[in-house]
Amino acid sequence: MTSGTAASAVREPAPAEGLRARRRRQTRAELHAATVRLAREHGLEHVTVEMISKEAGVSPRTFFNYFRTKETALFAWPGGLTEAEAEQFVSAPGRGPDAVLRDLGDVFATHVDEMAPGAGAFEDVLALVEKVPSALGAFLAECDALERDLAGAIARRTGDAPDGQTVALLAGIAMTAVRNGLMRWARDKQHPDGPAASVRDSFTALRGLLAPAYTPPATTEREA
């Protein structure tokens, strides 16, 4: 898959991404995939870095050029949101908490959707997070990094200082909803529609919880 057939420059003049960067991205993805696959099969505690790197076709030493630990290799989602996702969110109208949370629900729902195409591996990773303490720590650290990114985006949208208290709290609350949605889905599988629906559900519940006076109008509708 994705192999051979060096496509002659038809539509891809490789603008800023050299061959080097491409390969690097690829081996990283391969290491991640190998980690998840093996953890799924044998349980993370019985998977060694040696196995992973062999499975991915690189040396054990190389593994550590890509991931600090076995656990961090479980999570491949990029450091934060896409350029596009962030831009869309930032430039959306409304800067009150409710509007921000509404849009964040959308953003993360689509984000999760794109992130879990097969969803098979995603599911297993989340199950692992609940089971293995070290995996939990890595997962939460990853969430924390995402939260910081998120705070930046929120600040850009509301015009607040990036390190302000309000911004940080909003980001934290949003990530709480994301985690809640993901974990509930992984545990109860109560949303056959997939994790994205579960995340969206958590955001809805969150907004309902926060402003009982408001009771936002049935979601769905975009405010001008």
Partner DNA sequence: GCAAAGATTGCAGTGTGTGCAAGAATCTTC
Partner DNA sequence: GAAGATTCTTGCACACACTGCAATCTTTGC
Per CB under 7 A, residues contacting DNA are 18-21, 23-24, 27, 47-50, 57-62, 64-66, 68-70
Is residue 184 part of the contact set for a copy of itself (CB under 8 A)? yes
Burial code (b: 16+ CB inside 10 Å, e: under 16) for 117-133 equals: eeeebbbbbbbbbeebe
CB 57 within 8 A of CB 63: no
Minimum CB distance to DNA smaller for 49 or for 197? 49
Minimum separation from the CB atom of position 140 to DNA (A): 16
Segment near a copy of itself (CB under 8 A), from 47-55, 76-84, 109-117, 165-173?
165-173
Instruction: Report which of 32, 37, 60 is spatially closest to residue 138, judged by C-alpha positions.
Output: 32
State the binding partner of 70 from a copy of itself, DNA, none, CB within 5 to 8 A by kind: DNA
Tokens of 96: 């009150």
For residue 90, the one-letter residue type is V
Q: What DSSP designation does 4 have?
A: S
Tokens of 61: 């030493």
Minimum separation from the CB atom of position 97 to a copy of itself (A): 5
**Number of chain residues interacting with a copy of itself (CB under 8 A):** 39
Those residues whose C-beta lies under 8 Å from the C-beta of residue 13, and which sit 6 or more positions away, are: none
Minimum separation from the CB atom of position 137 to a copy of itself (A): 3
Minimum separation from the CB atom of position 186 to a copy of itself (A): 13
Minimum CB distance to DNA smaller for 27 or for 176? 27
In angstroms, what CA-CA distances link 212 with 167, 205, 206, 222? 21, 11, 10, 20
Q: Is the dihedral of CA 116, 130, 203, 75 positive or negative?
A: negative
| 3 state SS for 24-70 | HHHHHHHHHHHHHHHHHHHCHHHCCHHHHHHHHCCCHHHHHHHCCCC
Is residue 179 part of the contact set for a copy of itself (CB under 8 A)? yes
Per-residue interface string for the shown chain with a copy of itself, residues 125-144, x marking contact by CB under 8 A = --------xx-xxx-xx-xx
Minimum separation from the CB atom of position 213 to a copy of itself (A): 4
Minimum separation from the CB atom of position 210 to DNA (A): 39
Which spans of this chain sit near a copy of itself (rule: CB under 8 A)?
68, 96-97, 133-134, 136-138, 140-141, 143-144, 160-161, 164-166, 168-170, 172-173, 175-177, 179-180, 184, 201-202, 205-206, 209-214, 224
